[in-house]
């Protein structure tokens, strides 16, 4: 039986065999969530909804980065 909490089927059945968290845990929140929704878009049953969720997080990331002064690397303190 699948572990619905730690390893739900839509997280573990990607053709690569890699679980999404292995990749996204190295990203920031918004980018990680966007990748997560793109990663599982065809695995969970509602690809359009997952892609819309990914777009939501991508838009948030873009807005966050637009607020960073030019020339200052992302993540560097103000």
pTM higher than 0.85 for the full model? Answer: no
Q: Cα-Cα-Cα-Cα dihedral of 48, 54, 59, 65, to 10°?
A: -160
Q: What phi and psi, each to the nearest 5 degrees, are found at residue 3? A: -90, 100
**Among candidates 50, 11, 53, which has minimal Cα distance to 30?**
53
Residues 29 and 10 sit within 8 Å (Cβ to Cβ): no
CB atoms within 10 A of CB 69: 7
The reported pLDDT for the residue numbered 42 is: 86
pLDDT at 5 over 80: no
């Amino acid at each position: 039986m699948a572990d619905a909490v730690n390893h739900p089927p839509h997280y573990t059945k990607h053709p690569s065999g890699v679980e999404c968290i292995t990749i996204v845990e190295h990203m920031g929140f918004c980018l990680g969530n966007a990748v997560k929704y793109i990663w599982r878009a065809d695995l969970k049953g509602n690809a359009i909804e997952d892609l819309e969720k990914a777009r939501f997080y991508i838009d948030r990331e873009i807005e966050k980065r637009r607020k960073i002064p030019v020339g200052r690397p992302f993540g560097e303190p103000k």
